[in-house]
Each structure stands twice: as C-alpha cells, then as structure tokens.
Amino acid sequence: MLSRIPWLGQRMLFDQLKRREFMALLGAAAATWPAAARGQQTEPAVVGFLSSLSQPATDPIASMWRRGLAETGHIEGKTIRVEYRYANGEYDRLRSFAAELVRQQVMLITAAGPPAALAAKLATTSIPIVFVVGLDPVAAGLVRSFNAPGGNATGMTLITGPLAQKRLEIVRELVPRVKSVPILLNPAGSDAVPELRDVQAAAQAIGLGLQVINASTPEEIDDAFKALAEQRAQILVTGADPLFTSRRAQLVEWAARIRLPTIYPFKEFVTAGGLMSYGSNIVNSYRQAGIYAGRILKGARPDELPVMQPTTFELVINLKVARALDIEIPATLHARSDEVIE
C-alpha cells in the first residue's frame, strides 16, 4: 500500500506516475495532430486533371492552371501530385477516365472542356470539381446557379455561344455581300446544340443564312474542308468545341490551303496561323481555375465559390495571313482589335 512507503519513496513514485501519465497523453495527442503539423511527414495531395483535348493541346492551359495553383501555395511535385487524363477529342473515353480518378480517391478534379466536366459530374457527387467550359453551366446541369452553384462543382465559363453575333458581325465587315455563312460544329460535342441555337438566332437577327458543317473526327474535318472548297465558300466560322481546339493546326492548314478566310473562337487559332478570332482569354480562365482548385484544397467548398465569367473579350487579327489571302482588313476592325500579329 502507498501509505506504508516512506515519504521520500512516495514522492518519487508519485513523480514517476505523473511523468508516465504525461508522456502517454503526449503520445495520444501527437497521434491525432494533422500531418502538416508534424513536419515532413506530409504526403502530396493527389488531384485529377481530366482533359477533353490531347496532351500537346492541354499543356499550355495546364501550365496556366498550375500557375493559379502556385498562387495559392500549391506546387506540383511538392504539395500536390497530378493525375492527368487526355481524351484526345475522343469523348467516349472520358467516362472511364473520370471513374478511374474517382477510384483513386483524388481530392479534386479539374475538368477541361464541357465533355470532361459532364463526365466528371456523372462520376461523382462528392469529390470537388472545378470546370472550364464554353456552354452555360446552369443549362447543362453542372451547377444550380452562377452565384450559388450548389453541389460539388464550380468553375469558369468562356461564354462562347453568346459571342456568335459578334463573330457574324465580323463576317459581315470582312465580306459585306455574303448571303450564307457556313459554321463548323462537332455534333458529338456537349455544347453543339446550344451553340447552334445561339448562332442561328444571331444569323437571323442580321439577315444571314446559315449552313451547318459537321465534323466529329480528324477525318471528317478533312472532308468538311474538301466540301467547302468544292462549294467555293467565301468565309467560315468555326465552333468552340474542344476537338477543334485540339486540331487547330489541321484547321488552320486547311484554311490556308483552300484560301478560306476563317473566324475562330480563340486567340490560339490565330497564333497557330489563322486569320482572326474573337472570344475570351482561355488561358487566363485556366489560371482562375487553378486558383479555385487551390482554395478548395485549402478548405473552401465548391458551393461557396460562384461560377466566374470573363469580363473582357479580345479581337485578334493576323495581318500576315490576311495578306496571303489578299484580304484587306477594314479600318473599323483594325481599330477595334486587341492584338495584331504582323
């Protein structure tokens, strides 16, 4: 019994018991501390990047996405590890890729393009999704509203369809006497129907006819341009489907070969050798998506982050291509241009 131990022995035994109790409590507490608080034992967070495009076409936008992540303190290879999946324009592959990322229990999925965003949304209702799309994300069922997305998804919209009227107005300035305008669309794309609806409304508003040219594969793109050459088309407008972005070198080459003035949705087509583009800055949207992804990894919820929309749009003109096509750019267009490539 403790009462029979001499006083000094009691004190030593008491101190020893208290020290054991303290060490046990310390060990239990350490076991429950977050990994980050324990120093160098933190493992990088695994996130997914699901792209509708090919790897070469994805690399520039993924670079801007990583820049956005870095602005929130997340560095690939240090604080995060990225699992990339590329559909190469073959949208049927996206569902299996999305399911694969879910099985890997990634902490977040960034979805590049409408087909990737819809595939991710079908694959999970719990893993956060940050998308970059051209279509209306509310109408597509990705979010409940722009300001209050609800659910597990949020991101950026490029507003490609509603810009159809501006592109057709550019057509009118370039070729004033044109009666009907062909537009290249991918019927397999998620945004083909809403984009066509917007273009039809815009064409009707300014009294233009519209001819839809469909292409869902690289081979069908070749066939489309061959048909346009036979028809001696005066001008072409291309849709914003990710397939066309991925195959922009093919589109630009064909337009040059058959000497067809073409209006594109993004600057990337013009820097690749296209004539002209009008649209939002796609790479900046991916930087914003990276910032959103970083905020979510730090604890923000997708339903707290409103869907962002571009506030400025850019008109880019390639004068070298215009000269090669013997096209004189109207002074009105030149004055409105945001960038001119000599």
Counted domains in the chain: 2
Shared-domain flag, residues 217 and 335 = yes
Domain extent, residue 324, equals 161-279+313-341
- Between CA 9 and CA 2 the distance in angstroms is 9
Shared-domain flag, residues 50 and 152 = yes
Shared-domain flag, residues 245 and 131 = no
Listed in sequence order, the residues at least 6 apart from 134 whose beta carbon sits closer than 8 Å to its beta carbon are 113, 114, 157, 158, 159, 160, 161, 191, 195, 240, 265
- Between CA 135 and CA 155 the distance in angstroms is 12
Assigned domain for 10 exists:
no
- Between CA 306 and CA 199 the distance in angstroms is 27
Assigned domain for 6 exists:
no
- Between CA 51 and CA 101 the distance in angstroms is 12
Assigned domain for 33 exists:
no
Assigned domain for 182 exists:
yes
State the chain's mean pLDDT as an integer: 88
Assigned domain for 9 exists:
no
Span 40-87, pLDDT tens digits: 447 899 999 999 999 998 999 999 999 999 999 999 999 999 999 999
Span 241-272, pLDDT tens digits: 999 999 999 999 999 999 999 999 999 999 99
Q: What is the pLDDT of residue 43?
A: 86
Q: What is the pLDDT of residue 38?
A: 33
Shared-domain flag, residues 287 and 317 = no
Assigned domain for 30 exists:
no
Assigned domain for 14 exists:
no
Shared-domain flag, residues 139 and 181 = no
Shared-domain flag, residues 101 and 155 = yes
Q: What is the pTM of this model?
A: 0.84
Shared-domain flag, residues 334 and 226 = yes
Span 141-191, pLDDT tens digits: 999 999 999 999 999 999 887 788 899 999 999 999 999 999 999 999 888
Shared-domain flag, residues 170 and 99 = no
Shared-domain flag, residues 66 and 155 = yes
Shared-domain flag, residues 260 and 292 = no
Percent of the chain, pLDDT > 70? 88
Assigned domain for 22 exists:
no
Shared-domain flag, residues 299 and 213 = no
CATH code for position 142: 3.40.50.2300
Shared-domain flag, residues 234 and 106 = no
